[in-house]
Amino acid sequence: MHIHILGICGTFMGSLAQLAASAGHRVTGSDHNVYPPMSTQLQQAGIALIEGFDPAQLQPRPDLVIIGNVLSRGNPCVEAVLEQRLRYCSGPQWLGEQLLAGQHVLAVAGTHGKTTTASLLTWILECAGRDPGYLIGGVPSNFTQSARLGGGELFVVEADEYDSAFFDKRSKFVHYRATTAVLNNLEFDHADIFPDLAAIQRQFHHFIRTIAGSGQVLYPPADSALAEVLAMGCWSRQVALGGRGGIADSRGDWWVTDVAADGSAFTLCRGAESATVEWGLSGRHNVANALAAAAAAAQVGVTLAQSGAALQTFAGVKRRMEVVAATAQTTVYDDFAHHPTAIATTLEGLRAKVGGERILAVIEPRSATMRAGVHGQRLGDSTAAADAVMWYQNSAVDFDLAAAVKPQQPIFTTLQPLLQRIIEWAAQGGHIVLMSNGGFEGLPAKLAQQLQ
């Protein structure tokens, strides 16, 4: 089958394209920005790429057009698909129907930690010899790509609550036919498509309604927003990750003890069983991610000892506190922070790890929710663990950033002055965390080049 994908260079759609090619389909695609690293991955998979959305790319007619959720009415290719009555569907629908049917799907959902938890779970299953398939919204460092078919009956998917397509406003995860669902946490996000938290909770409840009675829903009871979702109805077995007091509360089915201040060591517990982990990640939020991954792996027969051993060899995820430059005095991290909670937990984890060493946070509010200023009142407090903060206000920021952040935190609207100020700060050494869920106009690479 010839499948043509519109919007192919996004993380999800690019990963989907690679899975389709691995399944034996002839895959082509287009996007308005075709550039590495996704373009490189796609070309290596033998997928032909087209820059732009000229309708001529739809000739000869493909057997199926998969339309990404970034495309809408008015796009030339979308209009051509409708006018020519071509067969089309969303990416999540195709994934669910063509690849996930019949699989034991382990879906990881939540506002924060989806990519890391899905990567941890996939690595645990890999180390246990289960050869899982997976689709993750990032590239786990233990693997070379963001998706693969796998050779067994298990498939791990990062289950995003974002909408499926312009013609299907259901969240992606309702298509995934999950058997085991991890609900990490829930806060208001995606202000471009959801009016309030209640609207997101409704989609999470729709997700829960698709899980069989013999399936499992793993969740932290301390999260009140998720508790409200489960109160709407849950027909599957519930697995509590910690108790009402958090992940270290032994009233849950799974919990942790002996957590190091920086999260670099902890003990996983279930009943009388335990496994001690020492690893390279930091922060209590990553301890919570590890707990969820180990508990999910146990649902398919992986032992606690196997999970503990795998976690100790986990190498992280690209763009999640990824070290992109290091000198004798300075370390630079690239991080995907997209929300005040993510900013705060990441910086707190680093502070616990480095003690009194200097920390500079350089932040671009880039997600739709951040650009709209929905969480503007929380931005200033989210950076409390850093010694210094610099903000990059791109042209799409649609609120008064200066009124939201601390007076001593400078705001830059062009990249070069920001880069120069960072270099000046780095002269005295310390840790620099670049935080954006976009490309930050190439700042990580430019800063690394300047420092070295």
Which residues line the annotated binding site for ATP? 110-116
Q: At 425, list the tokens.
A: 């700060």
| Spatial contact of 434 and 337, defined as CB atoms under 8 Å apart | no
Euclidean distance between CA atoms 13 and 73, whole angstroms: 19
Sequence ranges of the binding site: 110-116
| Spatial contact of 36 and 58, defined as CB atoms under 8 Å apart | no
Euclidean distance between CA atoms 121 and 217, whole angstroms: 15
